[in-house]
């Protein structure tokens, strides 16, 4: 899986308890938020035009999720499972290589 969190994402799962005996003694967390796919919050999706991308990684730097990762070829990609569609990446991209496209649901 070519994402930022790799096996951590793959291993992330929803945790639910059916009986009191399964609960820990204290409210300490037992998993990560990676099981929560926030991508369905999105109205606009960032679409990357690699022909314009200069690999400056400014979008990667400013993603608050983070949902932007760097592929092996050095171009960036978006993990749409998490991207909430805020548009910061598109706004900050110096070459306008990212456009926000309304998503049909």
Partner 1 sequence: MPKKVISGNYAAAYAAKHARVEVVAAYPITPQTSIIEKIAEFIANGEVENLEYVPVESEHSAMAACIGASATGARTFTATSAQGLALMHEMLHWAAGARLPVVMVNVNRAMAPPWSVWDDQTDSLAQRDTGWLQFYAENNQEVYDGVLMAFKIGEHEKVNLPVMIIESAFILSHTYDVVDMLEQEEVDEFLPPRKPLYSLTDFDNPFSIGALGTPADYYEFRYKIAKAMEEAKKIIKEVGKEFGEKFGRDYSQMIELYKTDDADIVFMGMGSLMGTVKEAVEILRSEGYKVGAAKVRWFRPFPREELYELAKSVQGIAVLDRNFSFGQEGILFNEAKGVLYNTGAKPIMKNYIVGLGGRDLTVNDVRKIANNMKKIIEKGELDKEIDWYHLKR
Partner 2 sequence: MELPADVKKRLTLPAEEHFYAGHTACQGCGAALGLRYVLKVYGNKTIFTIPACCSTIIAGPWPYSAFNAPLFHTAFETTGAVIGGIEAALKAKGYKVKGEDGIMVVGWAGDGGTADIGLQALSGFLERGHDGLYIMYDNEAYMNTGIQRSSSTPYGAWTTNTPGGKKHFLERKPKKKVIDIVIAHKPAYAATASVAYPEDFMRKLKKAKTIKGPSFIQLFAPCPTGWRAPTDKTIELARLAVQTAYFPLFEYENGKYKINMPSPSKEPKSLEDFIKLQGRFKYMTKEDIQVLQEWVLSEWEELKKKAEIFG
C-alpha Rg value of the chain to the nearest Å: 17
Q: Does 27 bind partner 1 (CB under 8 A)?
A: yes
d(CA 15, CA 93): 37
Partners of 69 in beta bridges? 77
Site string for partner 2, 39-68 (x = CB under 8 A): --x-------------xxx--xxxxxxxx-
Number of residues located near partner 2, criterion CB under 8 A: 45
Shortest reach from residue 61's CB to partner 1, in Å: 24
Site string for partner 2, 63-82 (x = CB under 8 A): xxxxx-xx-x-x----x-xx
End-to-end CA, the chain: 25
What is the token pair recorded at 70? Answer: 């760097």
- Kindly list the residues in this chain that would bind partner 1 in the complex (CB under 8 A): 17, 20, 23, 25-30
């Amino acid at each position: 899986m070519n994402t930022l969190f790799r096996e951590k994402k793959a291993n992330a799962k929803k945790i639910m308890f059916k009986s009191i005996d399964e609960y820990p003694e204290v409210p300490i967390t037992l998993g990560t938020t990676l099981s929560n796919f926030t991508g369905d919050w999105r109205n606009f999706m960032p679409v990357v035009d690699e022909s314009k991308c200069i690999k400056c990684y400014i979008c990667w730097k400013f993603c608050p999720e983070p949902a932007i990762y760097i592929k092996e070829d050095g171009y960036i990609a978006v993990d749409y499972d998490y991207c909430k569609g805020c548009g910061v990446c598109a706004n900050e991209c110096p070459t306008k290589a990212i456009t926000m496209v309304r998503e049909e649901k």
